């Protein structure tokens, strides 16, 4: 599932391409993927594109569009007169929603597994979702060491992997970047939050910052379905430390990286440097 770096990359690219454009038509080919008064967005202008957690928010003249890629969703932008992206992505059998803009450009919403969605929301509905469903953003200046310390100490019985992937607590990071940040901080994914010292929490804050900074720099991770709006891949895969590197040597100590399952998620760590506290 696209996480904060991937969604941020998509949002930044969409800002360059669709802000100021008018939606001529919203073509829905798979009804379950579009919710709300879809027909009402026709003729509305895109005023901004934003990210909240793993959600893409397109603000319009009157309404808002909330797009969640879920597991396999992709957004591909086709400039006016073009039938494919620069990477060769086209309108195809997995294209379920098409945004047709008045200048002839198009935005394709593809989804192999069909878990993603587009929702039309009023300002009130959107603000309620954004404020009530998600926790603090780890790239927000308010996400200080002290803030993280307070969050962790408020959930002492939670395992660290579960705490950091809970979107209602900290929004935007998931399986990939939690594994990476825990490795940076030398924290075991199953350690209970209440056992971390202030120093270890500070190291985790630094780890989260390092990992997200790198992932944003390299435009996300394209090991699975994530692609940029151009169809191109993100490059963080080449820089990851432990995620899906089980069986390979730890970049720091050369111990073999181990994989376990935590909450149904494949989880990767160094068994020598990330020792579980009890």
Last residue of a domain, one of 97, 132, 167: 132
- Tell me, yes or no, whether 57 and 172 share the same domain: no
DSSP string, the chain: ---HHHHHHHHHHHHHHHTT-BEEEEEESSGGGEES-GGGGTTPBEEEEEEETTEEEEEESS-EEEEE-TTTEEEEEE-TT-SB-TT--BS-TTEEEEEEETTS-EEEEEESS---EEEEE-HHHHHHHHHHS--B-TTSTT--HHHHHHHHHH-TTSBHHHHHH-TTTB-S--HHHHHHHHHHHT--TTSBGGG--HHHHHHHHHHHHHHHHHHHHTT-B-SSS---TTSPPPBGGGG-SSTT-TTSBPTTT-PBPEEEEETTEEEEE-TTTSPPP-
Query: What would the pLDDT profile of 145-161 be if each residue is shown by its tens digit?
Result: 999 999 999 999 999 99
- Tell me, yes or no, whether 8 and 121 share the same domain: yes
Domain assignment of residue 137, yes or no = no
Domain assignment of residue 173, yes or no = yes
Domain assignment of residue 275, yes or no = no
- Tell me, yes or no, whether 215 and 255 share the same domain: yes
Domain assignment of residue 278, yes or no = no
Domain assignment of residue 206, yes or no = yes
- The string over 156-193, giving b where at least 16 C-beta atoms fall within 10 Å of a residue's C-beta and e elsewhere, is eebbbbbbbbeeebbbbbbbbbbbbbbbbbbbbbbbbb
Structural domain range at position 216: 145-269
- Tell me, yes or no, whether 76 and 111 share the same domain: yes
Domain assignment of residue 274, yes or no = no
- Tell me, yes or no, whether 92 and 12 share the same domain: yes
Last residue of a domain, one of 132, 162, 197: 132
- Tell me, yes or no, whether 180 and 158 share the same domain: yes
Query: What would the pLDDT profile of 32-91 be if each residue is shown by its tens digit?
Result: 999 999 999 999 999 999 999 999 999 999 999 999 999 999 999 999 999 999 999 999
- The residues assigned a catalytic role are 2-3, 54, 265
Last residue of a domain, one of 104, 132, 160: 132
Query: What would the pLDDT profile of 168-208 be if each residue is shown by its tens digit?
Result: 999 999 999 999 999 999 999 999 999 999 999 999 999 99
Structural domain count, the chain: 2
- Tell me, yes or no, whether 191 and 254 share the same domain: yes
- Tell me, yes or no, whether 16 and 123 share the same domain: yes
Q: What's the CATH code of the domain at 206? A: 1.10.8.50
Q: What is the mean pLDDT of the chain?
A: 97
- Tell me, yes or no, whether 114 and 170 share the same domain: no
- Tell me, yes or no, whether 62 and 160 share the same domain: no
Domain assignment of residue 138, yes or no = no
Domain assignment of residue 247, yes or no = yes
Looking at residue 1, its pLDDT comes to: 86
- Tell me, yes or no, whether 11 and 125 share the same domain: yes
Q: What's the CATH code of the domain at 22? A: 3.20.190.10
- Tell me, yes or no, whether 220 and 113 share the same domain: no
Looking at residue 156, its pLDDT comes to: 98
């Amino acid at each position: 599932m696209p996480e904060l770096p991937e969604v941020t990359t998509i949002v930044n690219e969409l800002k360059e391409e669709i802000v100021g454009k008018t939606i001529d038509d919203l073509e829905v080919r798979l009804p379950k993927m579009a919710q709300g008064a879809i027909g009402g967005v026709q003729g509305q202008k895109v005023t901004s594109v934003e990210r909240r957690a793993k959600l893409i928010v397109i603000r319009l003249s009157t309404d808002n569009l909330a797009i969640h890629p879920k597991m396999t969703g992709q957004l591909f932008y086709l400039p006016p007169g073009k039938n494919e992206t620069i990477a060769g992505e086209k309108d195809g059998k997995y294209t379920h929603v098409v945004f047709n803009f008045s200048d002839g450009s198009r935005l394709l919403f593809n989804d192999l597994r069909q878990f993603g969605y587009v929702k039309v929301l009023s300002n009130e509905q959107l603000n309620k979702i954004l404020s009530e469903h998600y926790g603090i953003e780890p790239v927000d200046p308010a996400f200080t060491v002290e803030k993280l310390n307070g969050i962790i100490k408020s959930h002492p019985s939670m395992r660290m992997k579960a705490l950091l992937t809970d979107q209602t607590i900290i929004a935007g990071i998931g399986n990939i970047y939690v594994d990476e940040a825990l490795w940076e901080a030398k924290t075991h994914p199953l350690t209970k939050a209440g056992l971390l010292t202030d120093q270890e929490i500070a190291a985790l804050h630094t780890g989260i910052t390092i990992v997200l900074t790198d992932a944003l720099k390299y435009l996300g991770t394209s090991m699975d379905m994530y692609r940029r709006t151009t169809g191109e891949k993100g490059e963080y895969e080449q820089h990851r430390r432990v995620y899906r590197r089980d069986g390979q040597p730890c970049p720091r100590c050369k111990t073999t990286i181990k994989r376990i399952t935590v909450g149904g998620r494949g989880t990767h760590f160094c068994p020598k440097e990330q020792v579980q506290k009890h």
